[in-house]
Amino acid sequence: MHVAMLYKSSIFAMVNQTFEPSGEPSQGCRNKVQIWEERKQKVVAELRCRNEVKGVCLHRDIIVMVCEYVIYVYTSGDVKDWLSINTVILHLDTGSNKLGLCALATGSDPWLLCCPAQMLAHQSGLAALALNASGSLVATASETGTVMKVFRTADGEALYRLRRSTRPASISSLAFRPDDCYLAVASSSVTVHIFKLDNATATEVDEKTDKENSLASSPALEPAPDPQWPSPLTALQTLQSKAAEAVRGLTPQYLADLRSFGQFRLPDMDGGTPAVDTRSKQATIAGPILAFHKTEPRLYILHYNGFLYECSFQPDFDPKATQECSFISATTWFATRPDFKVSKPITELRTEPGG
């Protein structure tokens, strides 16, 4: 199941996984996006697609439906009347995107979309990506999960390399702080990392031991923008690396690594396994989801064990050392309910075709 929330509203976009009495997944249930209005307690719109939907994103202007090799962008019309959803305004072919990766800059106007393309950011495939609020920075993590990178979206230049560990892990969440001075990283391990985005504290890369060596500090981002795409679209797929020609046939140049500025070890983890695991057998959730406090030096960690953790860090801590973040609280955010069932039938509505 995939869920996206429209800011702090009562509107959610969902891709539900339903099952037949035999226990088999229902046919076609993952080929549609349903718009749920919490205040009305019903589905108010539905988008269908021929392909399995891997992810979904919402913005006040658009709805994004993510499939493995293509992304469909719909205009959302009037958010108060989701029946006014229009047809597809953008059909965007992407690289293989089995995880349904896609990010929208929450504070950019016009809207800005980021998705995987034929780019050289890591040696292995992308596992996670995130945009800052303005859309000026994008963070990426590979399937290896040892190194993250931060790029400037204006020209595709790599600004930071962030060394999480030498041990592989599945990255589950990347989050910029609103001031863009910190990036938090969560993974399948028991430790959450906070990086201070400051090149002055970076250390030189050991080329012999670095498993995430890329062919360039600035990735080759292709293809070029399609003149038929609407002008509001600015995406990694459309960026051109200024070093694309320079890196061909030349010795690689390596960025310096930033080590984590703060670490928080998740409670209630016995040998790396949570006491309660609310994930379904079909879930692809690897670890917690992160969010910074808007003004305070605090980080929120929503774990699949049902708890929302809150920790704090010291911004004036020695930037060349690693601090242990302080535990503040743990709140029961959700819990398993074996008796849960939908109280009202799903409303059948007019649907819009996908690709």
Domain range annotation of the chain: 1-93, 101-344
Q: Could you read off the pLDDT of 340-351 as tens digits, one per residue? A: 555 554 445 455
Higher pLDDT, 147 or 334: 147
Question: For 34-38, 231-235, 291-295, which range has the lowest pLDDT when averaged over its residues?
Answer: 231-235
Cα–Cα distance measured from residue 49 to residue 55, given in angstroms and rounded to the nearest whole number = 12
Closest residue by Cα to residue 4 from 80, 77, 64: 64
pLDDT for the residue 58: 85
178 pLDDT above the threshold of 70: yes
Which residues, including other chains, have CB under 8 Å from residue 192's CB and lie 6 or more apart? 184, 185, 186, 263, 264, 265, 266, 288, 290, 299, 301, 311, 325
Give the percent of the chain with pLDDT over 70: 71
The top-scoring range by mean pLDDT among 29-38, 167-176, 206-215 is 167-176
181 pLDDT above the threshold of 60: yes
pLDDT for the residue 17: 67
pLDDT band of residue 140 (cuts 50, 70, 90) is very high
The CATH architecture one would assign to domain 101-344 is: Beta Barrel (2.40)
Question: For 24-28, 179-183, 276-280, 293-297, which range has the lowest pLDDT when averaged over its residues?
Answer: 24-28
* Domain 1-93 annotated CATH 2.40.10: yes
Q: Tokens representing 172? A: 């589950």
pLDDT band of residue 246 (cuts 50, 70, 90) is very low
Q: Could you read off the pLDDT of 3-20 as tens digits, one per residue? A: 888 777 778 888 876 655
**Residue range 110-127: average pLDDT?**
78
Question: For 32-41, 257-266, 274-283, 289-298, which range has the lowest pLDDT when averaged over its residues?
Answer: 274-283
Cα–Cα distance measured from residue 16 to residue 42, given in angstroms and rounded to the nearest whole number = 14
Element (H, E) at 90: strand 88-93
Query: pLDDT averaged over the chain?
Result: 76
pLDDT for the residue 354: 53
Max CA separation in the chain (angstroms): 63
214 pLDDT above the threshold of 50: no
Q: Could you read off the pLDDT of 151-165 as tens digits, one per residue? A: 999 888 889 999 998
pLDDT for the residue 26: 64
pLDDT for the residue 242: 37
- pTM for the predicted model, two decimal places: 0.74
pLDDT for the residue 209: 41
Higher pLDDT, 118 or 238: 118
pLDDT for the residue 328: 95
pLDDT for the residue 61: 79
Would you say the C-alpha torsion 67, 70, 233, 137 has a positive or negative sign?
Answer: positive
